[in-house]
Structure 1
Amino acid sequence: MNYERLVDVMRRLALEAGEKIMEIYESPEFEVKSKADDSPVTEADQAADALISAGLREAFPDVPLVTEEQAATHGQDVSTFLIVDPLDGTKEFVQRRGDFTVNIAYVEDGVPVRGVVYAPAKKRLFLTTSGGSSVEETGDFGLEAEGKIERLHVSEPDNDALMVVASKSHRDQATDDYIGKYATADMKSAGSSLKFCLVATGEADLYPRLGRTMEWDTAAGHAVLAGAGGQVVRFDDHTPLTYGKPDFANPFFIAYSPGVDLKQP
């Protein structure tokens, strides 16, 4: 894989999808439907998916593509592939809370090695570079201009005063009980894959997820966090979270700065 071209294509498609999503987000109203699992889907999810998947298939026709909105892609047995969640945090989108993201990642031999996470309502763009390190673009960036590049690195956590981030829409008692095992200085909530990015920037030290997620929810954020020096492990045995699993379903996991003294379940 030509990583330089890959990152350029992923960045461009994420920004184009973000523009399409914001057009719908800022409209007076939009239609919300329910999928088979009762999760919401909007015309923004579908428009962004069509744009991204067409762009990836044109640029990388020989690389398998898995995308949330196309059930036909979910039955593949692959370890190296592109994976897309065109609009992660649909509940945040529907409630106009801004914490939603466009997620595009490349998984190689079960490991997310390159990814882009774009939060268009917040104008925050996180990505891995062709060399594998992670950055945030800030300032006046867009399709025609690159913003100011800030290299990301995870925190050096204080285990007596940890910064923890958890889900806005999926917080439960089991998560609170696990967080209670740590000495925390502050708790914050965030939607979508932004939680990975907050650990990558050092704004949080620890993100435990004790709930259902799919690989398209996590791959891009996982890549960004890894490129900033962070890790993502299974909740049950603290082994690395891998990709290309049956049905692309994740177990519970913990994303963290390696300085955190992980507690057992």
Structure 2
Amino acid sequence: MAPRKLESVSLEPSEDPATFESKNVHQIYDAIATHFSSTRYKPWPIIATFLQNLPTGWVGFDSGTGNGKYLPLPADRPGAIWTIGMDRSRNLLEIARHAGGDDVVREVVWGNVLENAWRPGAFDYAISIATIHHLATYERRKLAVQRLIQAVDPNHGRILIYVWAIEQDELSKRKVVDQDEAVVADEKGKDVMVPWVLSKNLAAKPSEDSSPPEVFNRYYHMFAKGELGTLAKDAAVALGLSVGDPSAEEVGQGVEVVQDGWERSNYYVELRRWSK
């Protein structure tokens, strides 16, 4: 089956982005939580490796944890690190509390990725996986990255961010842009609606009727090549931090980009805080 072209969307100048996100993101994930969670069970390799390589005893948080599939990791060292999950969806958090199915109740918090919810430098690490692309403006996406930077230790804090990419791989069911749109989209990304066809058996109120399944359209900002790395750097600079190799600085605080790449229809960036 050929990939389906996604519907473009734009936020009207008079439209409140928080209200737009509530309608086109938060309410939808509460409605589809059970079905969504049933399709999200396998950790992505780079994220699993990132968590596996963290020192024993570190404490971090997952900003936009969803069903909490990363909370039990690393699989080969259960309990070696402690990840707290935060999400806006109460229904997903109920699932996340029992992520891993090993009778361990996970620590989860109901919250907004834009809020300054944590004491500065409280965590050793933070991850944000497939969350920031649901924010409807550049400024809100930048603020979400700033909250991650602020929440981790200024001397050694580690951050990993994943977002969906315009460039979808050969296995994707989605097509983001046509060839004639590629130049513009490559510069600034593209705002689209991504449909979710709800399974009747896994709906909040299962139905046995023969009517068509309910379809929910979720808002996404699909990132262009280089856009996520630039966003992370902009967020750091706006906080008064240097960006780059700490060996090039004599004093101060900053953020180093450890890796910036693409994996299976996603862009990712890894950041490291430093202070000297």
TM-score, normalised to structure 1, is 0.28
Flag the structure with larger Rg.
2
TM-score, normalised to structure 2, is 0.28
Larger RCO (alpha carbons 8 Å, 6+ apart): 2
